[in-house]
Amino acid sequence: MLPTLRWAEPPDGPALVLLDQTRLPGAEVELVCTEVPRLVEAIRALAVRGAPVLGLAGAYGVALAAARGDDVARAARSLSDARPTAVNLGYGVRRALDAYRAVGGGPAGASAALAEARALHREDAEASERMAAHGRELLSGLLPGRPHRLLTHCNTGALVSGGGGTALAVVRAVHESGELERLWVDETRPLLQGARLTAYEAAREGMPYSLLADGAAGSLLAAGQVDAVLIGADRIAADGSVANKVGSYPLAVLARHHGVPFVVVAPTTTVDLDTPDGGAIEIEQRPAHEVAELIPGVPVAPAGARVYNPAFDVTPAALVTAVVTERGVASPVTAPNIATVCSGSLPQ
Ligand code: MRU
């Protein structure tokens, strides 16, 4: 697979080159962003998407503005505002901007911002590895002595990260240890990140997977075919509430009803201790045509239908069995346990 994102130096750059996720799985095509407005547009269109990689895009975006000699503060604002829910975007932008300012801006600032973006990229890849190990161990404890049948929603693999991803990185680790009986992949309407992206990654990696319509998850759980549900997160509030792709909350309710563990996998950069609870998380509302058309240009609703299209929903902490981070596992999911895991004081 082409890299999810990469920095290009002159003569091809400076540029941030994205694997255009809107074209997958049909075509593996790169999208070259040589200026920040193009990158902002790519973020809004979901050519690059998923919380951790949005942080990287934000940081490299600041480096791009600095390398071009643009108004860096303005570019940073437009990047941060491109999407509101994933806290990683603002985090990545801030880290690169702080590095730029710390050396007084200019060419030295451009080098510092780029170095910071690269450092964040490395950290994110390392976090993926640690989450995968912690998550696999957690599942072995929760589901002892049997191969796992795991259900996931949206896309949380290498396409969302500088490394292997979050929830899908755990699934990959389970698969590599020979313990994955089946990965159930929710198609994830309306933009089909499950069907287009998770199935693409699972197929490439030889995982035994089956795709299902989101509405089929209930009967699948009722039939006893799911041992655990694993998802990622776009923002985790201080009280442990989890904002993730719309459709995650109903899965958590179903999982609780059927006595199945509901596990969230996310780096600590996705935890926002400044957001007190789920009600304080801004949920992105997306355009009507994403629901009213099955794929772009193919309408499935009467012209002019009013549409409710939140990109995310919030799952209360009480429905989450565990939050797996690179610094360890918070379980039960309570405000003190979330704070402890973020402070890094759990054994890693
Ligand atoms: O709208 P998207 O595709 O950016 O939404 C992505 C998700 O909801 C992912 O599940 C989330 O970012 C976690 S990925 C680590």
**pLDDT digits 0-9 by tens, 67-90:** 999 999 999 999 999 999 999 999
Q: Which of 193, 200, 235 to mutate to test the pocket of ligand 1 (most atoms within 8 A of CB)?
A: 193
Question: 157: CA distance to ligand 1 center in Å?
Answer: 10
Question: 186: CA distance to ligand 1 center in Å?
Answer: 13
Catalytic status, residue 239:
no
Question: 314: CA distance to ligand 1 center in Å?
Answer: 13
Closest ligand 1 atom number to CA of residue 49: 4
Cα separation, 62 vs 110, whole angstroms: 8
CB of 286 closer than 6 angstroms to any ligand 1 atom: no
Cα separation, 251 vs 221, whole angstroms: 10
At 348 the pLDDT is 53
Low-confidence ranges of the chain (pLDDT < 70): 346-348
Cα separation, 122 vs 127, whole angstroms: 9
Is 193 annotated for ligand binding?
yes
CB of 46 closer than 6 angstroms to any ligand 1 atom: yes
DSSP 45: T
Does residue 281 sit in helix, strand or coil? Answer: coil
CB of 245 closer than 6 angstroms to any ligand 1 atom: yes
Question: 103: CA distance to ligand 1 center in Å?
Answer: 34
Interface confidence (ipTM) of the complex:
0.98
Question: 270: CA distance to ligand 1 center in Å?
Answer: 11
Is 244 annotated for ligand binding?
yes
Which pTM value belongs to this model? 0.97
Is 196 annotated for ligand binding?
no
End-to-end Cα distance, the chain: 30
CB of 52 closer than 6 angstroms to any ligand 1 atom: yes
Closest ligand 1 atom number to CA of residue 311: 1
Burial level of 29, CB count in 10 A (0-12/13-18/19+)?
A: middle
At 152 the pLDDT is 98
Nearest alpha carbon, ligand 1 atom 8: 245
At 84 the pLDDT is 98
Enumerate residues 6+ apart whose C-beta is below 8 A from 277: 237, 238, 239, 241
Instruction: Determine which one of 20, 124, 186, 234 is catalytic.
Output: 234
Enumerate residues 6+ apart whose C-beta is below 8 A from 257: 221
